[in-house]
């Protein structure tokens, strides 16, 4: 008779980070229902983080105050840093999870692909060209900075590719949704893993 896996402990992290450029409070629940309360002062970033939470099925609360009078760079990057730290904290030793995630998401004419390995080794491959420099007031180059901060602080390999598409809003949204879906798959408990660390080394580097 097969043993019933023990229920997961709550995978929740709360982080407060304050610097001379930003002040961020974030709460992440990996096993939520996709609820989001986001207030970064950057409307489009709020929209993308809300989409990420919904499609990853994370409950996510973010409150950020940053030097937006300078530009949006520090706030965008620092939110990525804190979200990555929260992911790392909630996953712990990563026992019993799937580890890998992959998703391809269409957004009208755009098609975005994301692949994730929660390996403990940070790396970002970003192959997402934008045809215009801004979406509203947000620089499109900041999306790469967000995902680099996320993967570097979450300690995972992340590949994001745009297969095709030209509408900048659709491209960005497709990327966030693809990463969200890949994350949801990667952090999901594997019922066949019986709490084992998903590595032949017996550990995933921290």
Helix boundaries (H) for the chain: 43-56, 73-91, 142-154, 168-187
The answer to whether 25 and 16 have CB atoms below 8 angstroms apart is yes
Q: Whole-angstrom Cα distance, residue 195 to residue 72?
A: 41
Note the pLDDT of residue 192: 87
* pLDDT profile of the chain (206 residues), mean per 10: 58 97 98 98 98 98 96 97 97 92 98 96 98 96 98 98 98 98 96 77 65
The answer to whether 34 and 53 have CB atoms below 8 angstroms apart is yes
The answer to whether 131 and 168 have CB atoms below 8 angstroms apart is yes
Note the pLDDT of residue 1: 42
Exposure string over 110-141, b if 16+ CB within 10 A, otherwise e: bbbbbbbbbbbebebebebebeeeebeebebe
Cross-strand partners of 161 = 113, 127
Note the pLDDT of residue 197: 74
Helix boundaries (H) for 1-159: 43-56, 73-91, 142-154
CATH of 10-185, one of 1.20.1050.10, 3.40.50.300, 3.30.360.10, 3.30.230.40: 3.30.230.40
Q: Which of 164, 124, 130, 166 minimizes the C-alpha distance to 146?
A: 124
Q: Angle CA(20)–CA(30)–CA(153) in degrees, nearest 5?
A: 40
Give the residue extent of every domain in the chain: 10-185
Q: Angle CA(113)–CA(114)–CA(116) in degrees, nearest 5?
A: 160
Q: Whole-angstrom Cα distance, residue 176 to residue 55?
A: 9
Q: Whole-angstrom Cα distance, residue 80 to residue 55?
A: 17
Note the pLDDT of residue 8: 63
């Amino acid at each position: 008779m097969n043993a019933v896996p023990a229920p997961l402990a709550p995978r929740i992290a709360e982080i407060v980070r304050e610097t001379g450029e930003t002040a961020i409070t974030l709460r992440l629940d990996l096993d939520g229902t996709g609820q989001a309360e986001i207030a970064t002062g950057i409307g489009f970033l709020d929209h993308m983080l809300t989409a990420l939470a919904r499609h990853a099925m994370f409950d996510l609360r973010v409150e950020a105050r940053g030097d937006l009078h300078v530009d949006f760079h520090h706030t965008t990057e620092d939110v990525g840093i804190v979200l990555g730290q929260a992911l790392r904290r909630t996953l712990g030793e990563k026992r019993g999870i799937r580890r890998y995630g992959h998703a391809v998401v269409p957004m009208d004419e755009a098609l975005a692909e994301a692949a994730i390995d929660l390996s403990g080794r940070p790396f970002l491959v970003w192959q997402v060209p934008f045809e215009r420099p801004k979406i509203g007031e947000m620089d499109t180059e900041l999306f790469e900075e967000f995902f680099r901060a996320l993967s570097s602080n979450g300690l995972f390999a992340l590949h994001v590719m745009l297969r095709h598409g030209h509408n900048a809003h659709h491209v960005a949204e497709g990327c966030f949704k693809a990463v969200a879906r890949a994350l949801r798959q990667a952090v999901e408990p594997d019922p066949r893993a019986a709490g084992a660390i998903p590595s032949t080394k017996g550990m995933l580097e921290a």
